[in-house]
Amino acid sequence: FNDTATTEIYTLSLHDALPILRREILTHLEALAKAEQYQSKMAKIAKKSYWKPQYHISAPANWINDPNGFCYFNGEYHVFYQYHPYSSQWGPMHWGHVASKDLVNWKTKPIALAPTDEYDRDGCFSGSAIEKDNTLYLFYTGHVVLDKENDKDDAQLQTQCVAISEDGINFKKLENNPIINIDSFPEDLNILKEHFRDPKVWKYNNMYYKVVGAQTTEKTGQALIYKSKDLLNWEFVNVMAMSTEEENLGFMWECPNFAEIDNHEVLILSPQGVEPEGNKFLNLHQSGYFLGKMDYNTGIFERENDFEMLDYGFDFYAPQIMQDEKNNRCLMIGWLAMWESEMPEQEEGWAGMMSIPRVLEVKNNKVYSLPIPELKKLRKNNVNYDVNLVQNCILEGINGDCYELNTVFDLTKANGFNLKLRVSENEETVVSYDKNSKIFKLNRDKSGKGVTGEREVKVNLQDEKISLQIFSDYSSLEIFINGGEYVISSRIYPTQEATGIVFEPMGEIKAKIDFYEI
Ligand code: FRU
C-alpha cells in the first residue's frame, strides 16, 4: 500500500482492506472469504488493463509470483500460485488457484490458502502438491517474521507445512503443522532458520521424497532431501546437492525440483545471487538445472554438468515441474516476471503471469523446453508463406498482438536477420541473429512502457537454418529456438497499436512462415 502510483485504485477499497492491514485475527475460512471479496472488486479494475494476458495464467487481480502445486487431480490439471490478493505489490502470501482439463483453458478456483496460523502468519510460501488415496496434499512453507518492528531477513522462521483436500478446492491445514521444522536436520549443516523453503514432493518406489531449498551460514545454497512413507512423518535423509563458496551458484537455492526426463535425472533450481558470466546469468536471479545421478540410498544427487539456464530471457523464474503420468512427459511452468523488475501493470491493478506450460526433454545432454502441443487448440486463421526474403518487408496477414509465429529461415545466402515484433510508429521489439557471432538477441529498448535492455544466447545453425516458434500475448513474448534448444521469454509493455511484424533479411533468406492468430 506504499505505492503512490496505485493509491487512487486502492483508496476506493481501503475500507475493506483495513482489517487485514491491522492484522485482525481471522479463521482460515474467514480470511479466504475476505480475500475472495477483495479480489473480485479489484478484478473489475484489472480486467480493463490491455496487458492482462489472453491465454496465459494470471490472477483476477493483484500480485502473483511462483507457480505452486502443479499437479493432476480429479480429472484436471491444477496450478496454484503465490498470491497477494490485497495489492499489486508482493505481500503476505496466499495460494491462488486455477484448474484446467486441457492445460489451455484455465478457470480460476477459490483461493486455496491464506496466512492465518501461528506458523504461517506472514505467508504461505511456495510449495508443491501430490495425490494420495484420492486426497490432494499441498506442501508449503510457513513464513513467520519474528521481529515485526525490525522486519529483516535474519528475523524470520521458515518451516514446512501441509494442507489437504478431498475435492481439490477446499483445503484444510493440518493440526500438527509444521510437519518439518529446523530441528529436523543436523546442526552442523549450518542451515539458517530463515531460509528453508519451497518443498517439492515426488514418489519413487513406494516412498515419498521431498527436496527443500536452504541457505547456510556461509551464504551458500543447498537442497535438502527428506523421505516419508505416509506424507506426514518426514525423516531427513541428506544434503541432496550443495554449492561451495568458490562456485558461482548463488547464496540461496530457491524452488528446487527433481525431475526424471527421458531416463535422465535432473535437479532444477532457482538460485539467488549467481553473478553474470558473459551473456549468461544477467537477471537478478536465475533458474536452471543440473543433469546428474540420484542415489536414493544416500540421498545424494551427483551433479554431472555445469549449471545451465532454462530460459535466456528477462523474465522466467521459480519454475515448477510435474510428471504428467497421463501423457508420460515432464511439464514445466514458470513465473513470467523477475524480482525487482519494473512491472508497469502494477498501476493497472495486477502484477505477474505464468509462462505457457512447456514439455521438457533431454537431448545431447541438454534440457530442451517445448511448448505443449495442446496449445495448437488456440490457433485461428492460419496464414503461411514460402518466400525468399530479399529486402525489408511486411507480409500481408502477418501481424497482431496475440499470436503464434513459426518460422524456419535458411541463412545459406544471408548474414542474419532482424525480426521486428509489436511494431508501431515508435515501438518495436527486435529479435535478431548474426551468423558470424552466432548471437541470437532480443532487444526491448523500444518495447513500450517501463522495461528496456537486451538478452542473448549463442545458437548454432542446423544445416544453415534456424527455426523459431514465438508465442506472443498482450504483454509477453516466449521464443523457442531450434525446437526448444533455447528459450527467451520476456515481458514487454507495448501499446495496443503495436501490432506490426517486419522482416529484415541481411542477404537473401529462404523462409517458411506459419502464422496463427490466438
Ligand atoms: C521465489 C520465492 C520463494 C518463496 C516465494 C515467496 O520466487 O522467493 O523462495 O517461497 O518466492 O513469495
Say what the pLDDT of residue 245 is.
85
| Per annotation, catalytic residue among 66, 117, 122, 473 | 66
Atom of ligand 1 nearest to the CA of 125: 10
Say what the pLDDT of residue 440 is.
98
Cβ–ligand 1 contact at 197 (below 6 Å) = yes
For residue 211, the cross-strand partners are 200, 225
Can you tell me the distance from the alpha carbon of 162 to that of 113, in angstroms, rounded to the nearest whole number?
A: 10
CA 346 to ligand 1 centroid distance, Å: 19
The residue ranking higher by pLDDT, 154 or 503, is 503
CA 340 to ligand 1 centroid distance, Å: 13
The two beta strands, 288-295 and 264-272, are antiparallel
What's the burial of 410, exposed, middle or buried (CB within 10 Å: 0-12/13-18/19+)?
A: middle
Cβ–ligand 1 contact at 126 (below 6 Å) = yes
**Is residue 366 helix, strand or coil?**
strand
pLDDT at 12 over 70: no
Cβ–ligand 1 contact at 254 (below 6 Å) = yes
pLDDT at 434 over 50: yes
Average pLDDT over residues 173-187: 94
In the Cβ-directed half-sphere of 516, how many Cα atoms lie within 13 Å?
12
Average pLDDT over residues 373-383: 98
Atom of ligand 1 nearest to the CA of 141: 10
- Of the candidates 164, 124, 106, 126, the one whose C-alpha atom is nearest the C-alpha of residue 31 is 124
Say what the pLDDT of residue 18 is.
55
CA 411 to ligand 1 centroid distance, Å: 42
Residue with the nearest Cα to atom 9 of ligand 1? 254
Cβ–ligand 1 contact at 125 (below 6 Å) = yes
* Best mutation site among 124, 153, 253, 254 for ligand 1 pocket (most ligand atoms within 8 Å of CB): 254
Q: Which residue's entry shows cell 523500444?
A: 446
Say what the pLDDT of residue 325 is.
94
Q: Which pLDDT band, with edges at 50, 70 and 90, does 147 fall under?
A: confident
Atom of ligand 1 nearest to the CA of 255: 9
**Is residue 8 helix, strand or coil?**
helix
Cβ–ligand 1 contact at 93 (below 6 Å) = yes
pLDDT at 17 over 80: no
Can you tell me the distance from the alpha carbon of 441 to that of 452, in angstroms, rounded to the nearest whole number?
A: 13
The mean pLDDT value of the chain amounts to 94
pLDDT at 247 over 50: yes
CA 474 to ligand 1 centroid distance, Å: 26
Say what the pLDDT of residue 20 is.
54
Average pLDDT over residues 9-18: 53
Whether 66 sits among the annotated catalytic residues: the reply is: yes
Q: Which pLDDT band, with edges at 50, 70 and 90, does 23 fall under?
A: low
- What predicted TM-score, i.e. pTM, was given to this entire model? 0.94
Can you tell me the distance from the alpha carbon of 186 to that of 355, in angstroms, rounded to the nearest whole number?
A: 38
Query: How far does the chain reach from its first CA to its final CA, in angstroms?
Result: 35
CA 197 to ligand 1 centroid distance, Å: 8
Average pLDDT over residues 331-340: 97
* Best mutation site among 90, 197, 268, 286 for ligand 1 pocket (most ligand atoms within 8 Å of CB): 197
**DSSP letters of 418-446?**
EEEEEE-SS-EEEEEEETTTTEEEEEEEE
Cβ–ligand 1 contact at 243 (below 6 Å) = no
Can you tell me the distance from the alpha carbon of 477 to that of 451, in angstroms, rounded to the nearest whole number?
A: 13
Average pLDDT over residues 411-432: 98
Cβ-contact 350, 49 below 8 angstroms? yes
